[in-house]
């Protein structure tokens, strides 16, 4: 049944994400001060686009939940994670780091809203990575496991109880965090007003840059985001698009400096021909900033060096490792 305490901003199109959200929702209270917002995005004050799987407010804290449903054994460190499944390896940046950045950006945006004057400035949004697939095996060091939670599991005759996502958001169990002591009905109401004023919106799966639709965020850095993109009419034509963000309130001089930097990078790369450097396919302006359109390589043929070493380094001969 619909609940005024759980808001689905956009219905997910991914079965695994829908199932993970329903797992959380089934045990989520339908009374004050509990609130949840699923599947939305916001543009932060630095101009970056941020997609959110789930934001929840409970008696013990405010949590931004990132869902990871890829099956397999998960290993890694503070910088990168590697999934091993059916003989294949895939390496990505530690998702806790990206989720934590989203938390800080969301808090900064909320504090700029009129309703936020009634909020405590010291409230914080905690990152949680929910490893939701039933076949996942978390083999991460203890210092990396903080803010990473599996499914909750009750004790059975052959399995021990496992504290997971519900225990984390309802009691702060298993994540090494102290419960907040300031969340009550008035706080929840004011926080909800600030969220509404912040302009959260449905997750935009149809963002356009030139003739390309932005699909998945590949990476982000200081003042830029790289997106995988697909041509609006030619499905087989894919590109990588880098958007140089312009933060809210930038002066004309600051905006001009970022635009010149983007244009210089395009001009420098336009004439380069090197197997280790992606070729450019165009330069354009976007509402969020200047954008460079690059060629796109499949994930298994174009890896960052640190991801390549994490994923395949143990298979390399010593002379190859030294050469790299």
Q: Hunting for tokens 């091993």 — which residue is that?
A: 84
pLDDT mean over 105-119 = 91
Q: How many other CB atoms are there within 10 angstroms of residue 26's CB atom? A: 8
Q: Hey, is 114 helix, strand or coil?
A: helix
Higher pLDDT, 232 or 1: 232
pLDDT score of 204:
65
C-alpha to C-alpha distance for 115 and 194, rounded to whole angstroms: 5
Distance CA 20, CA 8 (A): 14
| Mean pLDDT along residues 227-234 | 89
Q: At a CB cut-off of 8 Å and minimum separation 6, what does 16 contact? A: 67, 69, 132, 133
Q: What integer pLDDT is reported at residue 59 of this predicted model?
A: 95
Are the beta carbons of 149 and 166 closer than 8 angstroms?
Answer: no
Give the number of other CB atoms < 10 A from CB of residue 216: 10
Radius of gyration of the chain (CA): 21
Share of the chain above pLDDT 70, in %: 96
pLDDT tens per residue, range 175-195: 878 888 889 999 999 999 999
pLDDT band (50, 70, 90) for residue 299: low
Model confidence, pTM: 0.77
Question: Is the Cβ–Cβ distance between 293 and 241 less than 8 Å?
Answer: yes
Single out the residue of 94, 3, 12 nearest to residue 56, CA to CA. 3
pLDDT at position 96: 95
The 8-class DSSP code of residue 142 comes to H
Handedness of CA 196, 12, 24, 121 (dihedral sign): negative
CB 126 within 8 A of CB 56: no
Is 1 a residue whose pLDDT tops 50? Answer: no
Full DSSP string of 194-242? HHHHTT-EE--TT-EETTEEEEEEEEEETTEEEEEEEESS-TT-EEEEE
pLDDT score of 3: 65
Residue range 60-76: average pLDDT? 94
Question: Which helix (H) or strand (E) covers residue 57, if one does?
Answer: strand 49-58
Q: Among 149, 151, 132, 134, which Cα is nearest to 17's?
A: 132
pLDDT of residue 256: 86
Residues 279-291: tens digit of each pLDDT = 899 998 887 788 9
Q: Residue 62 contacts by C-beta under 8 Å, 6 or more apart in sequence?
A: 55, 56, 123, 124, 125, 126, 180, 183, 191
Which contacts of 308-311 are long-range, i.e. CB under 8 A and separated by 24 or more positions? 308/91, 310/76, 310/80, 310/82, 310/91, 311/82, 311/89, 311/90, 311/91
Of 199-208, 224-233, 266-275, the least confident: 199-208
Lowest mean pLDDT among 143-147, 205-209, 278-282, 293-297: 205-209
Using the structure block, give the residue that is written with the tokens 């101009």: 47
């Amino acid at each position: 049944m619909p609940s005024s305490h759980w808001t689905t901003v956009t219905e997910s199109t991914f079965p695994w994400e829908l199932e993970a959200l329903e797992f959380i929702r089934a045990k989520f209270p339908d009374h004050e001060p509990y609130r949840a917002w699923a599947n939305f995005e916001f543009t932060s004050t630095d101009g970056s686009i941020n997609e959110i799987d789930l934001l929840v407010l409970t008696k013990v804290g405010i949590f931004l939940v990132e869902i990871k449903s890829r099956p397999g054994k998960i290993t890694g460190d503070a910088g990168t994670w590697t999934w091993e499944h059916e003989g294949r390896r895939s390496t990505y940046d530690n998702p806790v780091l990206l989720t934590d950045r989203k938390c800080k950006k969301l808090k900064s945006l909320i504090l700029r809203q009129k309703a936020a004057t009634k909020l405590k400035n010291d409230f914080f949004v905690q990152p949680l990575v929910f490893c939701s697939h039933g076949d996942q095996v978390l083999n991460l060091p203890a210092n990396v496991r903080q803010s990473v939670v599996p499914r909750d599991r009750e004790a059975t005759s052959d399995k021990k109880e496992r504290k997971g996502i519900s225990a984390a958001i309802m009691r702060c169990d298993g994540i090494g965090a102290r419960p907040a002591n300031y969340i009550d009905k008035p706080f929840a109401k004011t926080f909800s007003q600030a969220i509404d004023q912040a302009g959260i919106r449905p997750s935009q799966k149809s963002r356009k840059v030139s003739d390309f639709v932005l699909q998945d965020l590949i990476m982000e850095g200081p003042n830029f985001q790289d997106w995988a993109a697909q041509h609006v009419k030619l499905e087989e034509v894919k590109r990588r698009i880098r958007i140089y963000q312009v933060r809210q309130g930038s002066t004309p001089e600051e905006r001009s400096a970022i635009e010149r930097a983007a244009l210089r990078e395009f001009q420098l790369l336009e004439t380069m021909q090197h197997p280790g450097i992606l070729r450019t396919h165009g330069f354009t302006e976007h509402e969020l900033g200047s954008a460079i359109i690059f060629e796109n390589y499949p994930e298994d043929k174009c890896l960052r060096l640190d991801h390549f070493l994490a994923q395949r380094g143990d298979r390399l001969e010593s002379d190859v490792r030294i050469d790299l």
